Amino acid sequence: MNKPIIPIFYACDDAFIKYTIVSLDSMIKNASSEFDYKIYVLHTEISSDMKSRLGALQNDNFEVIFTDVNEYLERVNRDLPIRHYYSKTTYYRFFIAEMFPEYDKAIYIDSDTIVLGDISKLYNTDIGSSYVGACHEQAMEQVDVYGTYCESVVGVSRHNFFNAGLMLINTKQFRDKAVLRKFVTLLGEYNFIVTQDEDYLNLICKDHVYWLDQKWNTELTPGLEYNYDYKDAYILHYIMVNKPWHYHDVRGADIFWSYAKDTSVCDMLKAELEAYTDEARARDKASAENLYQMAIDETNRPDNYQRQLDAKKRSPYRVELLKKIEQYEREGRFDEDVEDDPPSRMIMPDEIDYLRRSLGAKIKTKIAHAKAKVFLKTILEKGVMVIKDIKGVENFKALNSGAIITCNHFNAFDSFAIQEAYHASKHWPKRKFYRVIREGNYTSFPGFFGELMRHFYTLPLSSNTKTMVKFTEATNKLLQDGNFVLFYPEQAMWWNYRKPRPLKPGGFKFATKNNVPVLPCFITMKDSDVLGEELRKAITDFDIAENFVPDGFYVQEYTIHIGEPIYPNPELNHKENMEYMAKRNFEVWKDITKRNTE
């Protein structure tokens, strides 16, 4: 009976293959015998002696295959400039998906590793539609200079930057999403020099990474810390200049040599260790210092990659908006608007029918509802708004009373995403869905969107005290009748902001007063691979460019998370309940954010 095949790729040259031998030996000794492993060694030139030494590790489960990439390099050479400052082998991981179309998934692993865990468990991890499964790059997370570099230059959060020395590659997605072509295009646009091809990989795979247990790539270098003993790792990775074949005292050296001693290259490695001079170690130190300084210089460079994007490709309005958000975030001004409200006027109590009791209000609401359905259908079908998943819809379905719905506020039309969750809950049409809006949105929006703001089940706030009395009475009535009211407790809208912000008490006050639950919803988002200007060419139905698809920014893919309802605590008084529900809501939001960024 044929066993399942696990394809694993190394990339090395004749000088580095002796470390591959030790890595592979450790892998073999700890791998499950229930699988067959095809070990591909991508190279341009390896001596027959070293091929023989690596090939000698083969057994009934492990087959070693040497793959010369020279021919493939020649084919892509016109598009792929081989720069002098780093080895050609760093490119090879980009070729795997195209060179081996028979595989939909593969492991890439650097040679400076020791595999202590069962590699089949890594391969059998379900990473879904993510481009790669990988581990966080600890240098980016723990060293501020590098973290600032990856955010300011590459444009990837320090907490979402992965180490490319160990990847579970979704090769099907690499092919479908043209990752190699994107890499080649980026090579022609910008010269990333700090972590080189790792920078490109992180930029291309941003928001499409499945985060593996960190133990699968434990980077052993001075100063990096983990919340576990490195001896419990599944893979040890001797990154940068901290190699046990160059230094006696590096972390994990004893583990490396416990495997190296059984290989045919052990004497070579020992000789390399003894021959490594103080001059060579001084060069290592200078190299590490140079890398550190390079990160600083790239961050400060006036035309680094992110600054080029801001200057040449991105909507100037959105660029300034993001800078303003960063400023407000630093200053703790979380409830302040970063965008100017439209010019407004006061809503007077006699001009609004919150409960739509008059015939005219009912007719206008019905027309607006019909138009909104067409609008929502259009933006979903054309990929303007992308809802990848709705999680926790059972929590919405379980509601048997009116409820306050809370949601993070990051787009002028994010309420349409919650509208989809409401539809998925099957509560309509028995229970209606209302949304609280600002006064200016009601009074000042022109055209189609103004019609929606005024008539599509909206509850506008007002600067007029008597109108606010009507608002309060209507909201109480709607909740008591079993309807749902959407509040944005963060108060201000911050475009595409991905973290929860402190909450205001308004919605929780209504929940407590009416003894109804709060349904905490939080929308997480990821970059799609569609740029705004590309999508906008196909859209002529609505004037939605600035709200959804600004130039130079990717369309967002939303996942709607619906938490368990938060009910008032009968043992608490009104004020205590407001505080309790707001605190619990914020905890739910933070937990959702944490689970979807780790």
pLDDT (tens digit, 9 = 90+) per residue, 23-51?
999 999 999 999 999 999 999 889 999 99
pLDDT at residue 546 in the model: 52
How is domain 354-595 classified at the CATH fold level? Glycerol-3-phosphate (1)-acyltransferase (3.40.1130)
Q: Is the pLDDT of residue 251 over 80?
A: yes
**Could you tell me the pLDDT band of residue 209, with boundaries at 50, 70 and 90?**
very high
Q: Is the pLDDT of residue 534 over 70?
A: yes
> What average pLDDT does range 519-534 have in this prediction?
90
Q: Please state the separation of Cα 79 from the chain's center in Å.
A: 29
pLDDT at residue 532 in the model: 81
* Parallel, antiparallel or unpaired: strands 458-460 and 433-437: parallel
- The candidate with the shortest Cα–Cα distance to 24, out of 119, 124, 153, is 119
- The candidate with the shortest Cα–Cα distance to 264, out of 66, 55, 63, is 55
> What average pLDDT does range 455-480 have in this prediction?
96
How far is Cα 15 from Cα 531, in angstroms, rounded to an integer?
42
pLDDT at residue 543 in the model: 55
pLDDT digits (tens, 9 = 90+) for 273-326: 999 999 999 999 999 999 999 999 999 999 999 999 999 888 899 999 999 999
**Could you tell me the pLDDT band of residue 75, with boundaries at 50, 70 and 90?**
confident
- The candidate with the shortest Cα–Cα distance to 492, out of 283, 301, 321, is 321
Q: Is the pLDDT of residue 345 over 80?
A: yes
Is-contact 334 408, C-beta < 8 A? no
Q: Is the pLDDT of residue 548 over 80?
A: no
How far is Cα 470 from Cα 194, in angstroms, rounded to an integer?
60
Query: Which phi and psi (to 5°) does residue 56 adopt?
Result: -65, -15
How far is Cα 376 from Cα 541, in angstroms, rounded to an integer?
12
Residue % of the chain over a pLDDT of 70: 95
pLDDT digits (tens, 9 = 90+) for 164-180: 999 999 999 999 999 99
HSE (side-chain half, CA atoms, 13 Å) at 553: 23
Residue % of the chain over a pLDDT of 90: 75
How far is Cα 485 from Cα 518, in angstroms, rounded to an integer?
10
> What average pLDDT does range 563-577 have in this prediction?
96
Residue ranges of the domains in the chain? Answer: 5-302, 354-595
State the CB neighbour count (10 A cutoff) for residue 25. Answer: 21
- The candidate with the shortest Cα–Cα distance to 160, out of 204, 201, 192, 207, is 207
Which tokens hold the place of 259?
A: 């495997």
> What average pLDDT does range 460-482 have in this prediction?
96
> What average pLDDT does range 146-162 have in this prediction?
95
Which tokens hold the place of 355?
A: 């409960």
How far is Cα 140 from Cα 371, in angstroms, rounded to an integer?
48
- 5-302 and 354-595: same fold? no
527 by DSSP, 3-state: which? Answer: strand
**Could you tell me the pLDDT band of residue 541, with boundaries at 50, 70 and 90?**
low
Rounded to the nearest 5 degrees, what angle is found at the Cα of 509, between the Cα atoms of 506 and 515?
145
Q: Is the pLDDT of residue 185 over 90?
A: no
Is-contact 141 158, C-beta < 8 A? yes
pLDDT at residue 85 in the model: 35
Q: Please state the separation of Cα 59 from the chain's center in Å.
A: 40
Query: Which phi and psi (to 5°) does residue 493 adopt?
Result: -100, 125
HSE (side-chain half, CA atoms, 13 Å) at 264: 13
Helices (H), 179-277: 179-189, 197-205, 253-260, 266-275
> What average pLDDT does range 488-510 have in this prediction?
95
**Does the structural domain 5-302 have CATH classification 3.10.310.40?**
no
pLDDT at residue 80 in the model: 56
Question: How would you class 243 by CB atoms within 10 Å of its CB: exposed for 0-12, middle for 13-18, buried for 19 or more?
Answer: buried
User: Considering only 48-52, 88-92, 146-150, 215-219, which range has the smallest mean pLDDT?
Assistant: 88-92
How far is Cα 240 from Cα 251, in angstroms, rounded to an integer?
13
pLDDT digits (tens, 9 = 90+) for 401-438: 999 999 999 988 899 999 999 999 999 889 999 999 99
Compute the mean pLDDT over every residue in the chain, rounded to the nearest whole number. Answer: 91
Buried b (16+ CB within 10 A) or exposed e, 505-538: ebbbbbbbbbebbbbbbbbbbbbbbbbbeebbee
Is-contact 418 560, C-beta < 8 A? yes
* Parallel, antiparallel or unpaired: strands 162-169 and 132-136: antiparallel
Q: Is the pLDDT of residue 596 over 90?
A: no
**Scanning the structure block, which residue is given the tokens 């072509």?**
181
Report DSSP state, residue 414: T
- The candidate with the shortest Cα–Cα distance to 11, out of 78, 123, 95, 86, is 95
